A and B are shown apart, each in its own frame.
Chain A
């Protein structure tokens, strides 16, 4: 069974630009969660989507948004990029039921110059 895939794996942007990252969950999984990992703040939860609806949200500004499609694939978008948005962005998928384990993808490393 294929794991969680994320594209692109690496990305370089400049301040003020916007970026869209993609996540394809494990087949059959309906929940996709996004996390940001930085050296200073560690792994932080961004949001979770289940059946095309945002079900949970972390404490990030509105520049960070996401969506989920009917095939459970998810995208996250960051607008007006700041230097501090440089990070490893991870997505994780699960069946979405109570207590389900999340499985993480390899991440997208974003560098903002």
Chain B
């Protein structure tokens, strides 16, 4: 079973920041938080991942709470092309660890 809980759906206005929450209250010390997104039946696209520090790349920012029990993915200026299902996954830092996907959050960016 997935170790994360996400809202099933969210809306965001185009041009505004999209803040997608994720709860992972049972996360272990060696587990990373990964975010992927899937745009209508394409392969999931890697967005960002982190352990305990906040991370930022050209796509998004990842904010992890100090107790690591939750995180937020931030898309700073959402566009219509960001409409997708967003998956938050925790995965241990071990060899051969696969991703366990939950149902994710369906983000709809509205014009």
Q: Interface on A for B, CB 8 Å cutoff? A: 4, 33, 35, 42-45, 48, 50, 55-56, 58, 88, 90, 92, 96-99, 101-107, 109
Q: How far is the CA of A92 from the CA of B98 in the complex (A)?
A: 10
B43 touches A99 (CB 8 A): no
Nearest Cβ on chain B to A56's Cβ, whole angstroms: 4
Distance of A81 from chain B, by nearest CB (Å): 20
The answer to whether A45 and B99 touch across the interface, beta carbons within 8 angstroms, is: yes
* Closest Cβ–Cβ distance, residue A106 to chain B (whole Å): 5
Contact (Cβ within 8 A) B100 A45? yes
Dominant SS at the A interface?
Answer: strand
Once bound together, how far apart are the Cα atoms of A35 and B36, in whole Å? Answer: 14
- B residues less than 8 Å from A101 (CB atoms): 34, 46, 49
CB distance from A46 to the nearest CB of B (A): 9
Q: How far is the CB of B30 from chain A (nearest CB, A)?
A: 9
Which of B13-21, B72-80, B89-97 has 4 or more CB atoms under 8 Å from chain A? B89-97
Q: Which residues of B contact A103 (CB under 8 A)?
A: 46
Alpha-carbon gap, A103 to B49, bound state (A): 13
- Inter-chain contacts of A45 with B (CB < 8 A): 98-100
Could you list which residues of chain B lie within 8 angstroms of chain A, going by C-beta atoms?
A: 32, 34, 36, 41-46, 49, 87, 91, 93-103
Contacting pair B95 A102 (CB below 8 A): no
Which among B41, B46, B91, B100 is the interface contact of A88 at CB below 8 angstroms? B41
Chain A residues whose CB sits within 8 angstroms of the CB of B97 once the complex forms:
56
The 3 A-B residue pairs with the shortest CB-CB distance, nearest first, are A104-B43, A43-B101, A56-B96
- Which residue of chain A is the closest to B51 with respect to CB atoms? A99
A55 touching B96 by the CB < 8 A rule?
yes
A26–chain B nearest beta-carbon distance, Å: 12
Output the nearest chain A residue to B98 by Cβ-Cβ distance: A45
What is the bound-complex CA distance between A43 and B96, given in angstroms? 17
From B42, B93, B95, residue with most partner A Cβ within 10 Å: B95
